[in-house]
């Protein structure tokens, strides 16, 4: 098979895979990423087992929440993308969770001071004021967030040199939590090695994680993808670094 034919077939393969939900299992043979050392799913399960009422914000397809072995009595989840809402409702039905559509950055459909726990994995925009509003005194917010500059190497491979990240920084999250009246009790950061093994995996990732290269399409970035494909073929992979931080905050009793 010629190199150009292989490139075109890989592009087509990466462009054809559905990107609903927040399940990355299709990438298992095509990319790898280190996991954060704190074990977010385990922390969520621990907090859920001790809560009576809880909410998962930006649940995606409900993949993380579905792993909770002992869900609270009242379990809610919100999601902004309508196809994911349908996926999450199916996924979380065995837990008895109620999944609600909420516009990106919108108000949470929960009464004041009614929740013991709010969790959120990789939110696009954290409404700290809303989190503080819905938590009971003594309630907890736990979130694993994508730090600005994550997989920067991949972004720059398509976009060219970029300025330092100016948003989604841990210090900004701490300041926003404090401004909303919450007390941060835990903050941790991790830089995680990420490797792409073929260009199909890159295309799939860029279609799914849309903020990596805003407005990405295969046709728009075909020359850059061709150069990246040649680099992967020559070097056996393309290495980038995902950046995450964990933040836990409480509403003072």
Which domain range does residue 241 map to?
3-250
Q: What is the pLDDT of residue 213?
A: 97
Contact 66, 88 (CB under 8 A): no
Q: What is the pLDDT of residue 25?
A: 87
Cα gap 109→120, rounded to integer Å: 15
Q: What is the pLDDT along the chain (253 residues), one digit of tens a residue?
A: 445 779 999 999 999 999 876 778 899 889 999 999 999 999 999 999 999 999 999 999 999 999 999 999 999 999 998 999 999 999 999 999 999 999 999 999 999 999 999 999 999 899 999 999 999 999 999 999 999 999 999 999 999 999 999 999 999 999 999 999 999 999 999 999 999 999 999 999 999 999 999 999 999 999 999 999 999 999 999 999 999 999 999 999 9
Q: Rounded to the nearest 5°, which phi and psi values hold at 44?
A: -65, -45
Strands 31-33 and 53-57: unpaired
| 26 vs 30: CA distance, rounded Å | 8
Q: What is the pLDDT of residue 1?
A: 45
For residues 227 and 199, is the Cβ–Cβ distance under 8 A? no
Model pLDDT, residue 4:
78
Q: Kindly state the greatest CA–CA separation across the chain.
A: 66
Question: What's the CATH code of the domain at 103?
Answer: 3.40.50.150
Q: Which of 5, 247, 14 is nearest to 143 (CA)?
A: 247
Domain count for the chain: 1
Going by C-alpha positions, the residue among 103, 91, 83, 84 that lies closest to residue 65 is 91
Distance of CA 251 to the CA centre of its chain: 24
Those residues whose C-beta lies under 8 Å from the C-beta of residue 41, and which sit 6 or more positions away, are 64, 67
């Amino acid at each position: 098979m010629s190199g150009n034919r292989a490139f075109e077939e890989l592009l087509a393969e990466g462009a054809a895979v559905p990107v609903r939900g927040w399940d990355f299992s299709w990438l298992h043979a095509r990319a790898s990423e280190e996991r954060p050392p704190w074990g977010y799913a385990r922390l969520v399960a621990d907090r859920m087992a001790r809560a009576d009422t809880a909410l998962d914000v930006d649940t995606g397809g409900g993949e993380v929440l579905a792993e909770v072995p002992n869900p609270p009595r009242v379990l809610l989840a919100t999601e902004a993308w309508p196809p994911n809402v349908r996926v999450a409702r199916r996924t979380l039905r065995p837990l008895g969770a109620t999944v609600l559509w909420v516009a990106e950055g919108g108000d949470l459909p929960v009464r004041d001071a009614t929740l013991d726990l709010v969790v959120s994995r990789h939110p696009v925009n954290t409404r700290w004021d809303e989190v503080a509003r819905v938590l009971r005194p003594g309630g907890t917010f736990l979130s694993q967030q994508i730090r600005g500059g994550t997989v920067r190497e991949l972004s720059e491979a398509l976009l060219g040199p970029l300025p330092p990240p100016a948003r989604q920084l841990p210090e900004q999250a701490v300041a926003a939590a404090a401004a909303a009246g919450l007390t941060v009790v835990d903050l941790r950061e991790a830089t995680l090695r990420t490797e792409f093994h073929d260009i199909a995996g890159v295309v799939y990732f860029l279609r799914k994680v849309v903020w990596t290269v805003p407005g990405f399409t295969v046709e728009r970035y075909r020359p850059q993808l061709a150069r990246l494909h040649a680099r992967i073929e020559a070097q056996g992979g393309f290495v980038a670094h995902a950046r995450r931080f964990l933040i836990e905050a409480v509403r003072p009793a």
